[in-house]
Structure 1
Amino acid sequence: MKNIMIIAIALFATISFAQKKERTLKVNKDTNLIEVVYYHDNGEVSQTGTYTLDGKLQGQWVSYNKEGDKTIVANYDNGKKSGKWFYYTDNGTVKEVDYSKNVIASLKETDLKANEDF
């Protein structure tokens, strides 16, 4: 019986420490938005952004790859795509997509090495 109890405790401890954080949530009382951070399996941040209290994407969202490099900067207004979105590529360019009323209004590609504004 004692051996079974030791095995059960060891198994519980292993499972508890093996669990990885998938996300963190916090309600910002000043903005009335839910701030969220999602994580990759390796513990690196996957996405950051905010939701409205009724669950719609709001404001700026930033996505990262497993190495922690920024891949996308997006903007939402009450769940709809809005404003400028930036898609960062591995070859050093950024694709800029401008949204108006949840529809693509314009596209542009820029070489990051030539333009340090990004």
Structure 2
Amino acid sequence: MKKTLLFLAFVFSICIYAQDNKPTFEKVGDMVKATYYHNNGEIAQTGYYKDGKLHGEWEMFDEKGQKVAVGTYDMGKRAGKWLFWEGKMLKEVDFTDNRIASVVQLKDSEGVVIKQ
């Protein structure tokens, strides 16, 4: 009985450790690289901070590890072209002054290039 309890305590502690999906931060020059995780351990998003603000390229992933978005921040504001994937659908969203300037659908569900 004592061995069983010790074994269960050991397994429980491993499960708790495996679910420790705290974000990681790494200093890179004058910026900080951040990586955030889903509950299942897959990367949710990764990118950089500068002076405490989102800055540079950021990538977002779903819980299966598939890329769902990529774009650029300029001192906390969305800037330029962002790409969003929804299955085989790809949308290009252009940001100006942190606001959506245009949206273009690049592929339909069959992968055919179209524009809207």
What TM-score do the two structures reach when normalised by structure 1? 0.77
* Count of paired positions: 104
Equivalent of 1:59 in 49, 56, 60:
56
Structure 2's unaligned 5+ residue stretches are none
Whether the 8 Å contact between 1:57 and 1:76 is mirrored in structure 2 is yes
- Cα deviation code 1:81-106 (max 9, x no counterpart): 1000111012x111111011112111
Q: Percent identity?
A: 38
Residue from 68, 73, 79 that aligns with 1:71: 68
Cα contact 1:22–1:40 (8 A) shared by 2: no
Partner of 1:49: 47
Q: Which contiguous aligned blocks of 4+ residues in structure 1 show a shift greater than 6 angstroms?
A: none
Paired letter, 2:72: N
Using structure 2 for the length normalisation, give the TM-score: 0.78
Q: CA deviation at 1:18?
A: 4.5
For the Cα contact (< 8 Å) 2:19–2:41, is it kept in 1? no
Structure 1: segments with no counterpart, 5+ residues: none
